[in-house]
Amino acid sequence: MFAVKICGITSVSDALMVANAGADAVGLNFYPNSPRYVQFELARRISDALGERVAKVGLFVNAPSEGVCRAFDQLHLDLIQLHGDEPPETLAELGGRPMMRAFRVGDDGLRPVAEYLRRCRELGCYPRLVLLDSCQQGQYGGTGKAADWSVLHNYSTEIGEPPMVLAGGLTPLNVAQAVQAARPAAVDVASGVEASPGRKSEPLVRQFVQAATAALRAIGALK
């Protein structure tokens, strides 16, 4: 389990900077339509450079299961993040590999999340983590739009498990407020710590890690 994940890493230098700044997970985005997309060989170099210093999460959007499994195995990833429209049956095809399912929470609130997880339980493919992101039509995350934290606050009572990771529009300036409102187990940021899409800002990363860590510790999510 991680506490602070910096997603959309596109270079070895940014990966090492993020690790040195105190984040304990990085995200490698394999969605070709994303400005943070990384090709396989670059992802391999990033993974090799990081070693076991932080958790390495592969983000996939509607990708074939066999390709997801191959990337996980060959790149020595620690977690698969499914961020598209994958049905629960897709999770069952991952062979028990550790997985985080992302949901874009919209007008229906947490009800679709609960229904999805119910089906996962029936299939025996329950995710280790749930990531809750903002909903923007036609987008699969990384938009910079904040989620409705008041709705996500109900996750612990309406769903409870698996642990919830908060994403969507987080920045060094609002992450403490977001954590206090939504009370997640961890946080995930991409655009909120960037100098430009795919390029991380070291000052923003360090500010975010410090603010997020303090906020998570304050609510008891981090010891």
Encode pLDDT of 82-94 as tens digits: 999 999 999 999 9
Place of tokens 């409102």: 181
Interatomic CA distance for residues 188 and 7, integer angstroms: 7
The verdict on whether 120 is a catalytic residue reads no
Q: Which pLDDT value is given to residue 149?
A: 81
Interatomic CA distance for residues 32 and 71, integer angstroms: 14
Higher per-residue confidence, 141 vs 101 = 101
Q: Which pLDDT value is given to residue 158?
A: 86
Do the Cβ atoms of 48 and 28 come closer than 8 Å? Answer: no
Residue 8 has pLDDT above 90, yes or no: yes
Please tell me what DSSP assigns to residue 146. Answer: P
What does the pLDDT average to over 160-177? 94
Q: Which residues contact 128 (CB under 8 A, 6 or more apart)?
A: 1, 79, 98, 99, 100, 162, 163
Q: Which pLDDT value is given to residue 145?
A: 60
Q: DSSP 3-state assignment of 138?
A: coil
Exactly one of 14, 78, 133, 188 is catalytic; name it. Answer: 133
Do the Cβ atoms of 146 and 169 come closer than 8 Å? Answer: yes
The 10s digit of each residue's pLDDT in 112-136 is 999 999 999 999 999 999 999 975 5
The verdict on whether 7 is a catalytic residue reads yes
pTM of the entire predicted model: 0.92
Domains of the chain, residue spans: 4-218
Q: Selecting from 3.30.750.24, 3.40.50.1820, 3.20.20.70, 3.40.50.2000, what CATH number does the domain 4-218 have?
A: 3.20.20.70
